[in-house]
A and B are shown apart, each in its own frame.
Chain A
Amino acid sequence: MKALDTARFQSIREIHDAFDRGEFLPSELTRAYLQAAQAGTLNAFITFTEENAMRAAVAADQVLKAEKKVPRAILPLFGIPLGLKDNLVTEGVRTTCASRMLENYHPPYSATVVKRLENAGAFSLGKLNMDEFAMGGSNENSAFGAVQHPTHPDRVPGGSSGGSAAAVRAGQCVASLGSDTGGSIRLPASYCGVVGLKPTYGRVSRFGLIAFASSLDQIGPLGRSVEDCAVLMDVMAGHDPLDSTSLMIEKPSCVDACRRAPDWAGLRVGIPEEFFSAQLSPGVETRVREALKWFEAQGAKLVPVTLPNSRHAVAVYYLVAVSEASSNLARFDGVRYGNRSAEAAQASKLKDFYEHARAAFGPEVKRRLILGTFALSSGYQDAYYRKACQVRALVAHDFERAFQEVDLIAGPVAPTTAFRIGEKAGDPLTLYLNDLLTIPANLAGLPAMSVPCGDGEDGLPVGLQLMGPSLSEEMLFSVGAAYERGRRQT
């Protein structure tokens, strides 16, 4: 039998239909994905879990042989091999956060989202590369090496969920999970030309997500289609008693929403001037404006809106996120968690011990931990951390006001397409500014999706960002899926 070309599958639905027709078995599909992933040169995976995956796939074979058809209703992810960002803990499977600190960490439990996906019939091919502790936007800050862009090997895939986006685009897994603290799902989705969603804060349980910035982190799906992300969302979302910040809200029906055409005539799409006055590359601006024209052509009304405080978003983000991170990462001290270096092991004083043990962090992580420690310290906390929290509330308020006039807000995900590996490495501030357009949704806790809207003048993918009010995932899926269908038809 000819090896399956994994890159040909555009959706989970296609795969399930092929299972139904008996074209191949889940184990054959899984082996094909594993081969693609293991032969790949993108460095998208840190750890492969081929044994676990094949065991689950063979079990799925038996079910399919017995049932003849995919049991979609009870197992919406039946036989689907996924990839998991390596900050999602997996019982017994090494979870590194792409850090030397956790090089040998084997968690004793699995994240709630991982269990939910497994209970829906999915399994993981392995753990995906990322920026260390999700700190970065290019996936160059990994202790396991940078990830390459799936179509342009000299470019970055975006970050921090760079492995998650690159692997999906390259056909190394059907779909994947990422986490988004300031754009870490949407930016790589945009750069790699896949779909990614950052859900409403509290919609998806964070239990088992190794925290970067707890008040901003949210787990979300990346897929080759809007509907694939919807399938994952419907499985993952919903209250988790193990996460106090997870909302007591009924599960959404994102898949249904994808199949429902939006009410175009009544749809008001907000266009924030701030998102376009930013220095957009011509290719990005052209593609995004085309997408907006398409919305208008369907009958939607384009409404200019302002988000005046979004100009503070990057400053606010880099105070709030690093402050929380300085506390979240304190446990990696070489006592219970984290690597204990030879020097640390020989230290005779506790202070020396910590100094040596904490040396295992990479430079970007160290930079942020020092910033965060400073922003929280007595005498500075009012001017930095607390002030940032106040301005954060203003950013959120801008959105509330805007959403009184519009149903969703649309704009670019990033000012440019994927840049060259090493291009911005020496300049952390420029890299931070790259998050300008994604950070506001995190600060306000809102859902935001990145949908491919064509390629820029450089031939690299451009992402359209759709942002909605709190808990409006179904509307985003409905609009996103309709746009995706429309674009494929033209």
Chain B
Amino acid sequence: MNFEAVIGLEVHAQLATDSKIFCGCPARPPAGRSVAEIPPNANTCPICTGHPGTLPVLNEKVVDYAILAGIATRCSIRGKSVFARKNYFYPDLPKGYQISQYDEPICEKGWLEIQALPTSPDKRIGINRIHMEEDAGKNVHAHGYSLVNLNRAGVPLIEIVSEPELSSAAEAGAYLRSLHAVVTYLGISDGNMQEGNFRCDANVSVRPAGQKEFGTRVEIKNVNSFRFVEKAIDYEIQRQIGVIEGGGKIVQETRTFDSNKNVTISMRSKEEAEDYRYFPDPDLIPVRVTEARVNRLRSELPELPDAVKRRFMTELGLSAEDAAALTSTRDLALFFEEALQALSETGIDRAKGAKALANWLTGEVGRLLNESGVEIRNSRLTVVHLADLVRVTLEGAVSSTGAKQALSEAWSTGESIPAVVARLGLKQVSDLGELEPAVEKVIAAFPGQAAEFRAGKEKLLGFFVGQVMKATGGKANPALLQELVAKKLKQMGDS
């Protein structure tokens, strides 16, 4: 039997506000610092630690950010939305309830366009809702104790719930990348997955191809990288098909992904599911959003990744694949555009420069970023480095091998490209007058091979070029050198 998968995703994106959602405590570490560097419970006050008698007051920036997310995903924005209490007991939840939104979320019914592969057609994935909520704290288990860190308690989140319209792990991955790009372009989330800024729960079910009714769904909780989400979904689809084909039934349950073994593991069944007893939070008044506010935010909307990608393809002639890669984060796209601007100012053709820059950024630079796990804006590389790199290679001043070497130096020390080239002597020798004596010396040293060449064994040209390269320390411009060697071999034979 043929099966098809039905996948819906719930994404929690941490909003990049300065303060928490219901109090004045810092919501995130200072720029350049990580969450782990903040002492436990340093960013807390009586309100976010749920002291008896305290009351929440809504941070309006959170509402603005949620509206921006809604506009960017073509949602309708509710004129009145309501905060509700989600009641459950857990040690990281100081009030015994989480303030969230339930039946009246701020944004509803939008969509996002995705492309699972560079070659696949665009597909619209429905967004069911976006709502605002507070994060819980974090339990830390160590030395036989369970400790609670409430720095994260009250940090603002939006939860973005897709319709169950994704049908493969690849589509789920594309949806997540696209959504991640949207929130980071908007500047409403840092989107840092290692820091837990962008977390995903996946609802997965399978059904015989063509069947209308959904199969029983399984929820996979809190997977923290795009790749793991794809792997978890792939595994889960195969597991469910296996169960059904083996005559079994899928149990509605919550599972977790083990990234070491690449399998999903059962956490709890439906019977153990909580009854959250949602009801409107009487401590907060309904959120009223005027049309004027939505319009103001709409007018402040930055260019979104879809539009940037289309522009890169039409204006600069980049391939869909390159354009998609360069727009995966706003920082990368901005970096690319700034580098291209710097490059154009040196008189290099925009399209040609764009292609070369894209090659560097998606190739060697991308590799360095991936390996180190560093974001480009946190690395030592500047747009000037990239512009210089492209310029010296396009001008033929440095070989591609030399350029890679220069990049690797700049990456680790931040030294400028011209300085690295000079210090390491990476400049190609393109001056014929300088190369001629070396060529002559090499030809003279191998008279036998020279004679064979002249007799028609043209393959030996490579041998001579190699010898000259060796003699010049690899600095000779290879194209020029090849021409010169051939010329000299013939000339010296004539004499």
B55:A244 contact, CB within 8 angstroms: yes
Tell me if B52 and A373 are in contact (CB < 8 A).
no
Tell me if B480 is interfacial: C-beta within 8 Å of chain A.
no
| Residue A331, interface by CB 8 Å | yes
B282-A324 in contact (CB<8A):
yes
| A327/B148 in contact, CB under 8 A | no
Residue of B nearest to A324 (CB): B282
Known: A244-B58, A324-B282, A376-B277. A330 touches B95 (CB 8 A): yes
From residue 58 to 101 of chain B, which have CB atoms closer than 8 A to chain A?
58, 85, 87, 89-91, 94-97
Smallest Cβ-Cβ distance to A205: which chain B residue: B55
Contact of B87 with A376 in the complex, beta carbons under 8 Å: yes
Is residue A378 within 8 Å, beta carbon to beta carbon, of the partner chain?
A: yes
| Cβ-defined contact, B277 with A373, below 8 A | yes
A381 within 8 A of B: yes
Residues of B contacting A208 in the complex (Cβ-Cβ under 8 angstroms): 53-54
Which of A49-57, A101-109, A405-413, A421-429 forms part of the interface with chain B? A101-109
In the assembled complex, B399 has its CB within 8 A of some CB on chain A: no
Min CB gap A365→B, angstroms: 14
A-contact bits for B454-482, CB 8 A (1 contact / 0 none)? 00000000000000000000000000000
Q: Does B283 contact A (CB under 8 A)?
A: yes
Contact of B50 among A105, A207, A326, A336 (CB under 8 A): A336
User: Hey, which chain B residues are within 8 Å of A62, CB to CB?
Assistant: none
B484 → A minimal CB distance (Å): 80
A296-337 residues at the B interface, CB under 8 angstroms = 323-324, 326-327, 329-333, 335-337
- Known A-B contacts A244-B285, A330-B89; the reply to A207 vs B277 at CB < 8 A is no
Which of A12-20, A118-126, A210-218, A454-462 has 4 or more CB atoms under 8 Å from chain B? Answer: A210-218
CB-nearest residue of chain B to A215: B282
- B124 at the A interface (CB under 8 A): no
Q: Is the CB of A111 within 8 A of B53?
A: yes
**Count of A interface residues, CB-CB < 8 Å:** 45
Structural contact, B91 and A335, CB atoms closer than 8 A: yes
Checking A213, A242, A326, A377 against B55 with a beta-carbon cut-off of 8 angstroms, the contacting residue is: A242
For the complex, give the distance between the alpha carbons of A129 and B96 in Å. 26
User: Cα distance A377–B282 when bound, in Å?
Assistant: 17
Q: Are B57 and A244 in contact (CB under 8 A)?
A: yes
Distance of A324 Cα from B85 Cα, bound (Å): 10
Q: Which residues of A contact B87 (CB under 8 A)?
A: 326-327, 330, 376
B282 proximity list for chain A (CB < 8 A): 213-215, 245, 324
**Binary CB contact string for chain B from 267 to 295 against chain A (1 if under 8 A, 0 otherwise):** 00000000101010011110000000000
Q: Does B490 contact A (CB under 8 A)?
A: no
A107 engages B51 (CB within 8 Å): yes
User: Would you call A327 and B85 a contact (CB within 8 A)?
Assistant: yes
The answer to whether B283 touches A330 (Cβ under 8 A) is no
Chain A: minimal CB distance from B149 (Å): 12
Q: Which of B52, B56, B148 contacts A331 (CB 8 A)?
A: B52
Known interface pairs A327-B96, A377-B275. Does A336 touch B49 (Cβ–Cβ under 8 Å)?
A: yes
- Asked whether A331 lies within 8 Å of B283 as measured between CB atoms, the reply is no
Instruction: Tell me if B302 counts as interface (CB < 8 A to partner A).
Output: no
List the B residue with the shortest CB-CB distance to A357.
Answer: B89
CB neighbours (8 Å) of A213 from chain B are 282
Q: List chain A residues, Cβ under 8 A from B51.
A: 89, 107-109, 337
Q: Let me know if A385 is at the binding interface, CB within 8 A.
A: yes
A206 at the binding interface (Cβ < 8 Å): yes
Residue numbers in B under 8 Å from A335 (CB-CB)? 91, 94, 148
Is B30 part of the contact surface with A, judged by Cβ < 8 Å? no
Instruction: Kindly identify which residue among B57, B95, B97, B283 contacts A241, using a CB–CB cutoff of 8 Å.
Output: B57
Residues of B within 8 A of A111 (CB): 53
**Least Cβ–Cβ distance between B129 and chain A, in angstroms:** 19
Q: Which residues of A contact B57 (CB under 8 A)?
A: 241-244
- With A111-B53, A209-B53, A210-B52 given, is the CB distance from A327 to B46 under 8 Å? no
Complex Cα distance A351/B52, Å?
23
Select A330's contact among B53, B56, B96, beta carbons within 8 Å: B96
Minimal beta-carbon separation of B150 from chain A (angstroms):
8
Report yes or no: A245 in contact with B285, Cβ–Cβ below 8 A. yes
Q: Looking at the complex, which one of B53, B56, B95 makes contact with A107 (CB distance below 8 Å)?
A: B53
Q: Is the CB of B285 within 8 A of A337?
A: no
Instruction: Say yes or no for A39: interface residue by CB 8 A criterion.
Output: no
Most A-side CB within 10 Å, residue of B53, B57, B95 = B53
A333 to B277, CA, bound (A): 17
Contact B53 A378 (CB under 8 A): no
| Cβ-based interface call for A419 (8 A) | no
Query: Among residues 131 to 152 in chain B, which have CB atoms less than 8 Å away from a CB atom of chain A?
Result: 148
List B contacts of A324 (CB < 8 A).
Answer: 279, 282
Q: Judging by beta carbons under 8 Å apart, are A381 and B52 in contact?
A: no
* Contact yes or no, A244 B283, CB < 8 A: yes
Tell me which residues across on chain A come within 8 A of B53, comparing CB atoms: 87-89, 107, 111, 207-211
Q: Does A354 contact B (CB under 8 A)?
A: yes
A187-226 CB contact bits vs B (8 Å, 1 = yes)? 0000000000000000000111111011100000000000
List, in ascending order, chain A residues with CB within 8 A of B97's CB: 327, 330
Tell me the smallest distance from the CB of B203 to a CB of chain A, in Å: 19
A377 close to B277 (CB less than 8 A): yes
Closest Cβ–Cβ distance, residue A240 to chain B (whole Å) = 9
Complex Cα distance A377/B276, Å?
8
14 additional A-B residue pairs with CB within 8 Å, beyond A109-B46, A330-B96:
A89-B52, A108-B51, A109-B54, A207-B53, A214-B283, A241-B57, A244-B56, A245-B55, A323-B279, A326-B277, A329-B96, A330-B97, A331-B94, A354-B89
| 5 A-B pairs closest in CB distance | A330-B96, A215-B282, A214-B282, A376-B277, A210-B52
Q: 18 A–B contact pairs at CB < 8 A?
A: A89-B52, A208-B54, A209-B53, A241-B57, A243-B57, A244-B56, A244-B58, A244-B284, A324-B282, A327-B85, A331-B94, A333-B96, A335-B94, A336-B148, A337-B50, A337-B52, A376-B87, A378-B275
Chain A residues at the B interface, C-beta cutoff of 8 Å: 87-89, 95, 97, 102, 105, 107-109, 111, 206-211, 213-215, 241-245, 323-324, 326-327, 329-333, 335-337, 350, 354, 373, 376-378, 381, 385
